[in-house]
Structure 1
Amino acid sequence: MSTESAAGLRIRDLRVVFDGFAAVDGVDIDVPPGDVRFIIGPNGAGKTTLVDAVTGLVKASGSASFGGQELLGRKVHHINRLGIGRTFQTATVFEELTVLQNLDIAAGTGRGPLTMLRRRKSVPEGVAQAMEAIGLATARNKLAGTLAHGQKQWLEIGMLLVQDAKLLLLDEPVAGMSHDERETTGELLGLLSKERTVVVIEHDMDFLRRFARTVTVMHAGRKLSEGSVAQVQADPKVQEVYLGHAGASAAAVGEA
């Protein structure tokens, strides 16, 4: 599928209120098809809460649509069926099962407990493609619990791919990764964006500068700035939030 036929994410006046406190306060965001959008901001800015709202984990008002389908008000599994996939800061894989078995379960191949214990002669095309994409084809029979930290994150992304997710919402995917793992993950995001829309919540500014196509900066529940990496770093409002004064060097934004 080309990016022309991929779907984009459209958020309008999104609000999430907890006990009178607006964790997300009237946010508008457009993520076009094929984008690799990074959402950044200080702790408490509302980044993860925004993704929670889009994926049905918290109640929200306003609008969040993907491919023209409204997401707010739907149950989590209904949102998943619309092609929305999400990872969390800690990878949620079945550590006692192999890479292939994890992907089997995510794909819903219908293999029962007894057949799961046997190695089979063939692998469904979608599962095989996912293993290749995440670089784990040669580790298909390794237990997920024995994988390196970065590999577990890639496996979780693979579990979204076999579900044919078209919007990937990734929460700090490179946290705790080595330099080489971060580089591989960034290249993977670019590959995935050829057929999907990718949104990344991230604190690693070096990773952002290398692989973000566009950036949304949030602060105190609102959208503070948006644009290319260079545009966001040069924005005095962003410099003020991160460093406390607008005259700070743009290159230092996000390092504090």
Structure 2
Amino acid sequence: MRGRVLIIAGSDSGGGAGIQADIKAVTALGGFAATAITALTAQNTEGVHGVLPIPTAFIRQQMDVVLRDIGADALKTGMLHDSATIAAVCDGIAAEAPGIPLVADPVMVAKGGHPLLQPDAVETLKRRLVPLASLITPNLPEAEVLTGLRIKTEAEMEAAMPALLGLGARAVLLKGGHLEGPRLVDLLGTPEGILRFEDARIETRHTHGTGCTLASAIAVGLAQGMPLEEAVARARRYVRAAILAAPGYGRGHGPLDHAVTFDPERLG
């Protein structure tokens, strides 16, 4: 086991996304996952049915006790829900984890359409969290909210990259899963340029938690000392394998097989 990742995100009672997906992804790639839970959700493959925020003082306490004892080689944030939560998390990072790589997934809406970030918290996220990030991982709707730009084509993805980098993160992985067509394109933008990743699209409804899983898989790569490009490439391979091995659970957007890297037969 190598690489400690502190995940600061919401819980998914269905186990496919959120903190549960994060823990599985980090573990599957050989890292150690610790958590600070920001909200509880009543959730399954059909959608989010309720959200219970965690008091900000307790979020800070979770972060502080983990960082003072176990420590972290990377941080990952997911659902932060509102401005007060974002502010508390950023204060905690500044106080207890300055300089530790942060992968920030700007979670705004669940797969089923339920909002996971209050609209008035977007500016707080842009102003406080994004500048702390080594990498942000927006999908296209999230990138449109962050920039105010229309992003419906690969060309518009490239054109939006300066605005996304201008928010202050050191790198941006702009995920193109919402584009139409048989190919899926993601763009990794840094001040040095843009790196393009492309794969054949997998036609499936079992994609619940792909964003959470990808961001945590990148975070554990950084925690293990991988360069950003390699961490992103391995994380994308892992998510793709997990989608292809999805168990088919649920009536809606089903979960991935996060244990695709495991072989229980080795245990006898």
Instruction: Give the structure with the higher percent helix.
Output: 2
Give the TM-score taking structure 1 as reference length.
0.33
More relative contact order in 1 or in 2 (CA 8 Å, sep 6+)?
1
Give the TM-score taking structure 2 as reference length.
0.32
